[in-house]
Amino acid sequence: MTPENSEQRRNIRRTALLMTAIAVAFYLGFILMGVLRA
Amino acid sequence: MTSAVTDTHDNHDDHGPAKGLTRWLYTTNHKDIGTMYLIFSLIMFFVGGSMALVIRSELFSPGLQFVHPEFFNQMTTMHALVMVFGAVMPAFVGLANWMIPMMIGAPDMALPRMNNWSFWILPVAFGILISTLFMPGGAPASGWTMYPPLVLQTGDAFPFLIFSVHLMGLSSIMGAINIIVTILNMRAPDMWLLKMPMFVWTWLITAYLLIAVMPVLAGAVTMLLTDQFFGTSFFLAAGGGDPVMFQHIFWFFGHPEVYIMILPAFGVVSEIIPTFSRKPLFGHDSMVYAASAIAFLSFIVWAHHMFTVGMPLSGQLFFMFATMLIAVPTGVKIFNWVGTMWRGAMTFETPMLFSLAFVFLFTIGGFSGLMLAIAPADIQYHDTYFVVAHFHYVLVPGSIFALMAAAYYWLPKWTGHMYNEAAGKLHFWTSTIFVNLTFFPMHFLGLAGMPRRIPDYSTQFADFNWMASVGAIGFGLSQLIFVYVLLTAKKGAKATDRVWEMPRGLEWTVPSPAPYHTFDTPPKARVAQESFE
């Protein structure tokens, strides 16, 4: 694996995890909002 | 040693696709997965279309004709769910899978195994959803908006509806993550963000919308599930909950969802109009900013769907003006498409015909949207056939015409053969005539006060209803011409690599049909681009 490849893989993993975290935050955040209002 | 093994494994030049069913079951190839998405969405288009024909047959004349009112409500609900989540969205994901890696010079999607999963979740989700038709109590009948408390009266189908919506959301989120990761990390080295084709740009923006709003829908239906089975009262007034809160949460998802279905259509049309006008896209960067502005505004207009629930005047004014503001970036787009065609050497092959119809007919849907944005007027239009006419003008001659345009535009690149142009044009003209016959009279029905989601109506609405029903049957039959075009797609003349006279973009630098593996070595995007000028 070349250094460029490993750098690219690291970036891919980082972006994917960030997007997953955003999705999870929206999911839990809206449920939390419902809990706080109920 | 490890790196040597990895490098050898990553080189796929020595083999093509696997043989038999396992090719499709285990594939991680973006072209295979794109093909599966497109075929799946076409099947769902016909399933949802059949449900539409049940609805229109029942509404052909006043009185109850063919189906029980409860089944009619199941049909309106299932038609919408199947068309939105099963036909339009997967079709655009299919196009994204096929075209984005080739447009940015990437060998595949960044996360190919997840790509396989995000497709194969879909048939399971829709298998579950469609199976509810055979359950005690029938399929969900509360409309695709699933408003409580009505949706909580669904029979045995309720948990299956919730589970299938979760699966659809999961599939969409996984697909969106893949698209963002691919575009941000796997572009050809000299393809800067603002040099990306508009289809790629609109999909990048759409994917961000998906990441933000699909989890919100999932959260809303999770709360419905706990209200039904776990004793919570998020939306139950009797337990201190608020049914209107569901509407707020649903439309916080639902309005961006509209743009999820239309932004990639903007991207498709922005690829096709320049090709057949033989000019570069007018105002590429302003198109990017306009699409971004539309996406941003889509998050702050949701309550225009619910003016009638009663909200403070300041709230009505905010949502009314914010909604009207969307007309500005949308107008920029329409202006730029017209500017691209201005003094261009235009020809009118099938993809261009569908794109031109898109621009004209989507604008009609946009104008009726502006009418609905006016809060005092909306109180009259709300829940009438005017709303049905509006969103069908946006979604059928809007999204679906763009999908048809895309299919005809890229079909020669996919199959290596030119499609039957005469059949394509026949498909276009019959579709355009019948789509207007179906949906234009619905404006008048709505203005005259006919409510939506009813199986029977007053005799004063009879004439426009039979016209709409004849149009729907004609539109449905017209789509069989498209199936004929697809079935005979490999019988036409051999397509050249560039296919059209003046296309732009890296996808036209690879052979037709596109090889199973493309761009194992990153291309020089700008050099390729300049060779087309």
Percent of chain B with pLDDT over 90: 92
Tell me the mean pLDDT in the region B12-25: 78
Q: Residue B531 — very low, low, confident or very high, per pLDDT cuts 50/70/90? A: low
Q: Which of B105, B54, B104, B103 is nearest to B75 (CA)?
A: B54
Q: Which of B198, B272, B203 is nearest to B428 (CA)?
A: B272
B253 interaction partners in chain A (CB closer than 8 Å): none
Q: How far apart are the C-alpha atoms of B508 and B410, rounded to whole Å?
A: 10
**Interface of chain A against chain B, CB under 8 Å?**
1-2, 8, 11-12, 15-16, 19-20, 22-24, 26-31, 34, 37-38
Q: How far apart are the C-alpha atoms of B370 and B365, rounded to whole Å?
A: 9
Tell me the mean pLDDT in the region B248-269: 97
Here the tokens at position B98 are 């096929």
Mean per-residue pLDDT of chain B: 94
B7 interaction partners in chain A (CB closer than 8 Å): 1
Q: Residue B15 — very low, low, confident or very high, per pLDDT cuts 50/70/90? A: low
pLDDT of the residue at B8: 40
pLDDT of the residue at B250: 98
Per-residue model confidence as pLDDT tens digits over B458-479: 999 999 999 999 999 999 999 9
Nearest to B184 among A2, A15, A26 (CB): A15
Checking ipTM against 0.90, whether it exceeds it is yes
Per-residue model confidence as pLDDT tens digits over B39-85: 999 999 999 999 999 999 999 999 999 999 999 999 999 999 999 99
Is B305 marked active-site? Answer: yes
| Whether the predicted pLDDT of B106 surpasses 50 | yes
For the question of whether the overall pTM of this predicted structure is more than 0.90, the answer is: yes
Q: How far apart are the C-alpha atoms of B516 and B392, rounded to whole Å?
A: 37
Q: Mutual orientation of helices B89-104 and B401-415 as an angle, nearest 10°? A: 50
| Whether the predicted pLDDT of B11 surpasses 70 | no
Of chain B, the end-to-end C-alpha distance in Å amounts to 45
Tell me the mean pLDDT in the region B377-405: 97
pLDDT of the residue at B14: 58
Q: Residue B532 — very low, low, confident or very high, per pLDDT cuts 50/70/90? A: low
Tell me the mean pLDDT in the region B173-180: 98
Stretches in chain A below the pLDDT threshold 50: none
